[in-house]
């Protein structure tokens, strides 16, 4: 949260399984559409919060399986744990709040001296998904965790201008009870949440039941509530026709790697025109530093794409970028840092990427010029061979 100097334009608080992540979508199109929208239009001045019933271990497992973005804040174990950033630093204040006036070890030691005593708990019971029963401390839960975050942000003078809560099951219902929060119940929601909505929020204009499944329903809600841009780059058929009236480095990065994915999936027509367009946005003196340390001309790298056109056509191959953060280093130059990921089937490979782009001598409609690209393997990722990793 500290990376923002003022109130976030938007804070999205989303459940994961069957809300952000569609387990019935083998191509992961819904979440990839959201990813492209978030990184191009929201990452720089907004907050992404995942609120899941999963434990930290199961949450990390899901991230290894699905093309998920890195959230600013992660709420896990049905609101009993709050962590921040890439390192998932625990919120000690939340731990203290849940443990207030409670020391289980002391209680257990003292009560064990009296055999006639029976343990009684001040708890909350949440039923969700038609099969899950969560027993939580009274002050815990997804709703209370969100309220705590709002209070914490308000104390810092950074209360979000808008908050959108997103869910599909009973343990998400609390999210929609927090004041001044917009809510979206995705199309594929569980019956217990639909029943809660009918009984408690049917006439509440700030809570909608989406017409779209999972992450597509979240994008729908952004548009419905007019919270900001709601057209994902993945919804644009011909990205070469997507012209801007201002320079936007984050959008340029998202668009470039979406071009790259479509090329390798054989989803591009007019191949020569496509390559010419790519080469036109790369400086003739531009350099690409491969994760293995090899230096090459950007134009040479573009030419080599001829060898991989359609090579992933028969595979479940996707490319996405995460944590795209541009910083302007002079009047016409930006340094953009992000993670670039590729997934083929269930295997993910990622690299830390730094790009230098320039607006010198070009118009916004022409796009920024790429001067330098430097990549290093992400820690823990499987190192790809040079022959199969082009950008």
Considering the domain architecture, whether residues 140 and 80 belong to the same structural domain is answered as: yes
Considering the domain architecture, whether residues 214 and 259 belong to the same structural domain is answered as: no
pLDDT digits 0-9 by tens, 241-284: 666 789 999 999 999 999 999 999 999 888 888 888 889 999 99
DSSP at 378? P
pLDDT digits 0-9 by tens, 158-199: 999 999 999 999 889 999 999 999 999 999 999 999 999 999
Residue by residue, DSSP assigns 91-137 as -HHHHHHHTTT--HHHHHHHHTT-TT------EEEEEETTTEEEEEE
Considering the domain architecture, whether residues 135 and 265 belong to the same structural domain is answered as: no
Considering the domain architecture, whether residues 187 and 308 belong to the same structural domain is answered as: no
Q: Is 90 helix (H, G, I), strand (E, B) or coil?
A: strand
Alpha helices in the chain (DSSP H): 29-41, 56-65, 92-98, 104-111, 142-155, 191-200, 214-224, 249-264, 271-280, 298-304
CATH number at residue 33: 3.40.50.1000
CB 250 within 8 A of CB 44: yes
Q: Which two tokens stand for residue 73?
A: 């804040």
Q: Which residues are within 8 A (CB) of 384 and not within 5 positions of it... i.e. 6 or more apart?
A: 291, 342, 349
Considering the domain architecture, whether residues 117 and 166 belong to the same structural domain is answered as: yes
* Residue 243 lies inside a defined structural domain of this protein: no
CB 347 within 8 A of CB 62: no
* Residue 237 lies inside a defined structural domain of this protein: no
* Residue 4 lies inside a defined structural domain of this protein: no
Question: From CA 245, how far away is CA 365, in angstroms rounded?
Answer: 6
| Residue, of 250 and 381, whose pLDDT is higher | 250
CB 188 within 8 A of CB 220: no
* Residue 20 lies inside a defined structural domain of this protein: yes
Domain final residue, candidates 175, 192, 225: 225
Considering the domain architecture, whether residues 206 and 253 belong to the same structural domain is answered as: no
Domain final residue, candidates 209, 225, 241: 225
* Residue 155 lies inside a defined structural domain of this protein: yes
Q: What is the dihedral of CA 213, 216, 222, 224, to 10 degrees?
A: -60
DSSP at 21? B
Considering the domain architecture, whether residues 294 and 368 belong to the same structural domain is answered as: yes
Q: 355-387 as b/e, with b when 16 or more CB fall inside 10 Å?
A: bbbbbeeeeeeebbbbbbbbbebbeebeebeee
Please state the pTM of the whole predicted model: 0.91
Count of structural domains, the chain: 2
CB 3 within 8 A of CB 153: no
Report the pLDDT value the prediction gives residue 39, as an integer from 0 to 100: 98
* Residue 119 lies inside a defined structural domain of this protein: yes
Considering the domain architecture, whether residues 48 and 172 belong to the same structural domain is answered as: yes
Task: Phi first, then psi: give them for residue 11, nearest 5 degrees.
Answer: -120, 120
Considering the domain architecture, whether residues 290 and 373 belong to the same structural domain is answered as: yes
Question: From CA 86, how far away is CA 322, in angstroms rounded?
Answer: 11
| Residue, of 128 and 93, whose pLDDT is higher | 93
What Cα–Cα distance (Å) separates residue 159 from each residue in 9, 83, 132, 140? 9, 18, 33, 21
Considering the domain architecture, whether residues 221 and 255 belong to the same structural domain is answered as: no
Report the pLDDT value the prediction gives residue 390, as an integer from 0 to 100: 87
CATH number at residue 289: 3.10.450.50
* Residue 385 lies inside a defined structural domain of this protein: no
- The whole domain housing 125 covers 10-225
Considering the domain architecture, whether residues 208 and 271 belong to the same structural domain is answered as: no
Percentage of residues in the chain with pLDDT exceeding 90? 73
Question: From CA 175, how far away is CA 13, in angstroms rounded?
Answer: 8
Q: Which two tokens stand for residue 308?
A: 């991989």
- Please state the rounded mean pLDDT for residues 39-47: 98
Considering the domain architecture, whether residues 166 and 282 belong to the same structural domain is answered as: no
Segment among 118-127, 312-321, 364-373 with least mean pLDDT: 118-127
* Residue 234 lies inside a defined structural domain of this protein: no
**Surface-to-core class of residue 263, CB atoms within 10 Å of its CB (0-12 exposed, 13-18 middle, 19+ buried):** buried
């Amino acid at each position: 949260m500290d990376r923002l100097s003022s109130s976030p334009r938007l804070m999205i608080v989303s459940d994961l399984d069957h809300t952000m992540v569609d387990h019935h979508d083998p191509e992961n199109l819904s979440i990839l559409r959201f990813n492209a929208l978030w990184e191009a239009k929201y990452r720089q001045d907004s907050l992404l919060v995942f609120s899941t019933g999963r434990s930290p271990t199961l949450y990390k497992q899901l991230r290894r399986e699905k093309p998920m973005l890195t959230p600013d804040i992660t709420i896990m174990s049905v609101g009993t744990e709050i962590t921040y950033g890439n390192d998932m630093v625990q919120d000690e204040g939340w731990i203290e709040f849940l443990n207030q006036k409670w020391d289980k070890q002391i209680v257990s030691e003292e009560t064990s001296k009296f055999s006639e005593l029976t343990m009684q708990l001040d708890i909350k019971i949440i039923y969700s998904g038609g099969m899950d029963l969560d027993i939580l401390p009274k002050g815990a839960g997804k709703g209370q965790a969100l309220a705590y975050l709002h209070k914490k942000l308000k104390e810092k003078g950074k209360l979000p201008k808008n908050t959108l809560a997103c869910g599909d099951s009973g343990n998400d219902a609390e999210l929609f009870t927090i004041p001044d929060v917009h809510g979206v119940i995705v199309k594929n929601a569980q019956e217990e949440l639909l029943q809660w909505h009918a009984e408690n929020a049917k006439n509440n204009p700030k809570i909608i039941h989406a017409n779209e499944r999972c992450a597509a329903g979240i994008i729908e809600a952004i548009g419905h509530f007019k919270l900001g841009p709601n057209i994902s780059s993945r919804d644009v058929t011909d990205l070469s026709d997507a012209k801007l009236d201002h320079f936007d480095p984050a959008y340029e990065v998202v668009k470039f790697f979406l071009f790259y994915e479509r090329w390798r999936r054989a989803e591009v027509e007019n191949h020569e025109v496509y390559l010419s367009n790519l080469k036109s946005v790369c400086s003739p003196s531009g350099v690409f530093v491969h994760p293995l340390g090899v230096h090459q001309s950007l134009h040479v790298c573009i030419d080599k794409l001829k060898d991989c056109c359609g090579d992933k056509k028969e595979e479940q191959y996707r490319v996405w970028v995460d944590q795209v953060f541009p910083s302007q280093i002079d009047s016409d130059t930006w340094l953009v840092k992000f993670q670039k990921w590729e997934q083929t089937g269930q295997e993910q490979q990622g690299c830390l990427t730094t790009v230098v782009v320039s607006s010198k001598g070009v118009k916004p409609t022409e796009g920024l010029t790429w001067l330098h690209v430097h990549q290093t393997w992400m820690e823990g990722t499987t190192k790809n061979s040079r022959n199969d990793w082009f950008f």
